[in-house]
Structure 1
Amino acid sequence: MSDTKVPQHPIGATLAPIDDSVMLTLERPLAATTPEVWFALTNRRVISGWAPYRPSRDLSEIGIVHLPEATTATALDDDDDNPESRGEVLTIVPGRMLSLAWGDDTLDFEVVPAETGTVLTLRHTFDDPDTASSYAAGWHLCLAALDGITQGIEVPAMTGEAAKLHGWDALNEQYEKLFARENHPR
């Protein structure tokens, strides 16, 4: 990982088959309060500091939203016609759960108050199990950035090519090993 003051999280995720898809689940304790985490999950300006996408609007209402990748978005651009940037807020339980369609994938964020802050659970459902470790490494960095931002830490860009500067390659390898052990325990 980089030498920034971004909070560090241990390697941890699960992968489960769901029909013709797989669900990657990451659960992270965050130091911030649940309202602070919720704001960071739904406010488009804050999202741009931690997420791999740049929404065209706040994610506080159900409906269509453009979600271009952070590496291709410019100044919160909302007219990207790339099919990968299609998005929709599917479900909202304010202060508790946010469900998004991002391209062909589904992202579910759940926040639960905890004694020391908030527990955030991210479930990412997608089709190609061969991309699981890549997604896990990317989300690992994104959730660390989210943790930092909600603590008031200035977080550097950690998505796209910048992710490699923050240990994405090593994380990808560690998640590959984790998922291989889950599928082939000794």
Structure 2
Amino acid sequence: MTEPDVTYAKDDGSWTLVFIRELRQPPDRVWTALTDPAELDKWSPFTARGALTSPGDTTLTMVDGDERTDLPATVHRADKPSFLDYTWGDDRLRWELEPTATGTRLTLRHTLAGPGIEAMVAAGWHLCTDVLERLLDGNPTGVIRGQDAMNHGWEELRARYEKTFSSYA
């Protein structure tokens, strides 16, 4: 399991979490995991009403056990297999896929709607991309969402990121 590189910075007046992870698969394979609803349902914190492969409105549904929360989303740009940009509720997510000698460098820039949740969001993406990495490697573990994350080290990750980000204020 590769450890992500995570920072938190002011970007055009908003705070953006920058999450970088090295994956062993080529960008085309990672792109499918980021855009195909069936793939997203195996690793991400939400399900998607439709493919995220072309600009337009859709719905992303947060899942926490039996609870579902629909959030409006708009795909602004989808350049297969290198760049995906969409809103998720009031947040904006920009995924960049860069080919490397050993696979793909995945960079997520998650611009947050408000301050104070960056450590929680970082811990969530950390767990989700752990699951993504295992899925892509052919060793799926099953999606980890909502309260289930508490059983998989989310609180420890949140505390670690909170300590890391405390120097950013």
Alignment TM-score, normalising by the size of structure 1: 0.84
- Give the Å deviation of 1:45: 0.2
- Give the Å deviation of 1:182: 3.9
- Contact map agreement 1:106 1:126 (CA 8 A) in 2: yes
Question: CA 1:17 to 1:115, structure 2 compared with 1: closer, same or farther past 3 Å?
Answer: same
Q: Deviations over 1:122-177 (max 9, x none)?
A: 00001322100000000111111111111111222211111111100000000001
AA of the residue aligned to 1:97: F
Percent pairwise identity: 33
- Contact map agreement 1:56 1:65 (CA 8 A) in 2: yes
Moved more, 104-113 or 17-26: 17-26
Tell me which residue corresponds to 1:47: 40
Aligned counterparts of 1:10 and 1:180: Cα–Cα separation in 2: 20
Aligned counterparts of 2:99 and 2:19: Cα–Cα separation in 1: 16
Which structure shows the higher strand fraction? 2
Tell me which residue corresponds to 2:101: 115
Tell me which residue corresponds to 2:16: 23
| RMSD of aligned Cα (Å) | 1.5
Tell me which residue corresponds to 2:52: 59
Tell me which residue corresponds to 1:138: 124
- Contact map agreement 2:18 2:109 (CA 8 A) in 1: yes
Equivalent pairs, count: 167
- Give the Å deviation of 1:33: 1.4
Of residues 112, 116, 135, the one that matches 1:149 is 135
Tell me which residue corresponds to 2:160: 174
Once the two structures are superposed, the pairs formed by residues 49-128 of structure 1 within 5 Å of their partners are 49-71=42-64, 72-73=67-68, 82=70, 85-128=71-114
- Contact map agreement 1:51 1:70 (CA 8 A) in 2: no
Higher relative contact order (CA 8 A, sep 6+): 1
- Contact map agreement 2:56 2:74 (CA 8 A) in 1: yes
AA of the residue aligned to 1:30: L
Aligned counterparts of 2:8 and 2:135: Cα–Cα separation in 1: 27
- Contact map agreement 2:43 2:131 (CA 8 A) in 1: yes
